Structure 1
Amino acid sequence: MKLFKVAATALALCAAFAVQARSVEEIKKDGKIVIATEGQFAPFNFFQGTKLTGFEVEVAEAVVKKMGVKLEWKTLGFDALLTGLAQDRWDVVIASHGVTEERSKAVTFAAPHYCSGGIIVALDPKIRTAADLTGKTVAVQTGTSYLQNVQKLTGVKDVKNFPQDTDAQRALISKRVDAWVSDKFVAKEAAAKNAKAGFKLGDMLFVERIAPAVTKGNTGLAEAWNKAFDEVLADGSYAAISKKYFNEDVRCAK
């Protein structure tokens, strides 16, 4: 889903790999795992007042409970999440990062915790497909796979990128752009909560698998996370959380 700025950021990540990430054994000995997310991407990770919540937040909490350690959350701007991971500032990032070849060079992904993709949203019902974006101005969040995929399209007049996805959404509401590309579940929730905005949901621009990330090479932690995640899938916890937020099961097909 979200894709950090590849060129400059990848160099920064590689330079930071000299920092030793904590092993799963060290985490268990400490009794606490530190996880970072954005906190600005409803319904996946967001604040209700001062409480951090959302689908990804609840899934992570269920996984960590199975791992038998306490959880400390960190929230910060999306672009800083994977850089901070490489600097050993936290152990895991779960913030709707799509699994891409470029990202996989910089981090180790755990098993995908949901599948989704980018959807076209407009106020004009005639703007539904990738072809309909020809000659149009499109809003996306900075550093995301939405930005990357819109930039691949030929004929788009302009791509406006914003620090937060909600900023891109507001650009469409204020008619500063012709379309907004975001996660399909984010768009569905935005349309439901802002009925007066008149959002029209179009086609999926692309699909992807979304997964938590650990520091590159920290396979022991990724395997421990996957084991706990499998238990969350098996005991019905995942299905209950998914139904709560989406009224459907959003796990990836095997």
Structure 2
Amino acid sequence: MNILQTFLLAVALCLPAAALQARTLEAVRKDGTLLIATEGQYAPFNYFQGQQLTGFEVEVAELVARKMGLKPQWKTLGFDALLTGLQQDRWDVVIASHAITDERARAVSFAAPHYCSGGTIVSLSPSLRSARDLAGKVVAVQTGTTYAAEVGRLPGVKAVKNFPGDADARNALASRRVDAMVTDRFVAKELLRKSPQAGFHVGDRVTTERIAAAVARGNTGLADAWSQALREALADGSYAQLSQKYFQEDVRCPARP
């Protein structure tokens, strides 16, 4: 291969990456379809009932999409790959219980938060209730969540073990391979409701987080349109109906001063 051929090949290999960019709001509206990615393994927020994807975040996203005049189209994959795929412009929006953090905000742009929550201790012992009680204990978290770093900063924690999914962390706790797990407080609430005989105990919340959908960094037109549609849902009562359906309480974030 001569120098010219090598140069042309290099240019050809670069073209797909250069041409690939996030779809703007105008492009999405022209197409009429909003491509949304989620995990599908995180009840009650996003999960499958048989072959049907459902959950609080799924219904919120579909409500928001309708208010934007768009048809939602779903993709499901592992939590740890969702924001990476967003950065690669493989979908338009990710909604999968991502807490807004400074680190994530350097990689993606967040819409307005659609609920507030936090990491909560779950164990098989009623004595493990507070962050102080985790001293000397092995604690399970899901890979890619903010809980790994937060739990790692708690004084005296013996080890933090990462698992691919929340269910994997829960199974490790049930089989006593770890002493406790930290998961979303609503996930913990749902766990007690669905498995009252499993012996799980829910302790204190150790983090407080604002949860939001994300778009590609700088795609502010799409983020703003999503946020506006969400505000409409908050105002007209349709969000409140979903919140009551899944949690029997209003889970929206309080207004900031």
Give the equivalent residue in structure 1 for 2:104.
103
Q: Give the Cα separation in 2 of the matches to 1:58 and 1:104.
A: 24
Aligned partner of residue 206 in structure 2, secondary structure:
strand
Partner of 2:172: 171
Superposition map of 1:22-41 within 5 A: 22-41=23-42
Q: Which residue of 2 aligns with 1:60?
A: 61
Q: Does the alignment pair 1:246 with 2:247?
A: yes
How many angstroms does 1:17 deviate by? Answer: 9.4
In the alignment, what sits opposite 1:43? Answer: 44
Q: Look up the match of 2:134.
A: 133
Within 5 Å, give how 1:57-96 maps onto structure 2: 57-96=58-97
- Aligned mates of 2:161, 2:197 — CA distance in 1: 23
SS in 2 for 1:139: strand
Match of 1:191 in 2: 192
Percentage of identical aligned residues = 67
- Identify if the C-alpha distance between structure 1 residues 201 and 18 changes in structure 2 by more than 3 Å, giving closer, same or farther: farther
Task: Give the deviation of 1:198 after TM superposition.
Answer: 1.1
Partner letter of residue 55 of structure 1?
F
> Which is worse superposed, 145-154 or 98-107?
145-154
Question: Paired residue for 1:162?
Answer: 163
Gaps of 5+ in 1: 1-15
In structure 2, the residue corresponding to 1:214 is in which secondary structure? Answer: strand
Matches within 5 A, 1:2-13: none
How much has 1:61 moved relative to structure 2?
0.3
From the CA coordinates, give the structure whose radius of gyration is larger. 2
SS at match of 1:252: coil
Match of 2:122 in 1: 121
C-alpha distance in 1, partners of 2:253/2:18?
A: 30
Q: What residue is the counterpart of 2:22 in the other structure?
A: 21
- Distance in 2 (CA, whole Å) between partners of 1:187 and 1:145 is 16
Please report how far the alpha carbon of residue 151 of structure 1 lies from its aligned counterpart in structure 2 after TM superposition.
1.1
> Is contact 1:22-1:91 (8 Å) kept?
yes
Paired residue type of 2:62? E
For 1:5, the equivalent position in structure 2 comes to none
Unaligned runs of at least 5 residues, structure 2 = 1-16
State how far apart, in whole Å, the 1-side matches of 2:115 and 2:18 are: 27
Normalising by structure 1, report the TM-score: 0.92
Any runs of at least 4 consecutive aligned residues in structure 1 with deviations exceeding 3 A, and if so which?
Answer: 16-19
1:232 aligns with 2:237: no
Give 1:19 deviation, angstroms: 3.8
Deviations 1:161-217 (A, max 9, x none): 100001101111111111010000000101111111111111111100000000000
Partner of 2:3: none
Counterparts of 1:218 and 1:180, CA distance in 2: 35
Which digits, 9 at most, give the CA deviation of each residue in 1:22-71, with x for residues without a partner? Answer: 00010000111100000000000000000000000000000000111111
**What CA distance in whole angstroms lies between the structure 1 residues aligned with 2:129 and 2:107?**
34
Residues 1:226 and 1:160: Cα distance change in structure 2 (over 3 Å): same
Q: Distance in 2 between matches of 1:63 and 1:142?
A: 28
How many residues align? The count is 239
Match of 1:185, as an amino acid?
Answer: F
Q: State the 1:18 CA deviation.
A: 8.1
Read off the aligned partner of 1:33 and give its amino acid letter.
Answer: L
1:230 offset after TM fit, Å? 1.1
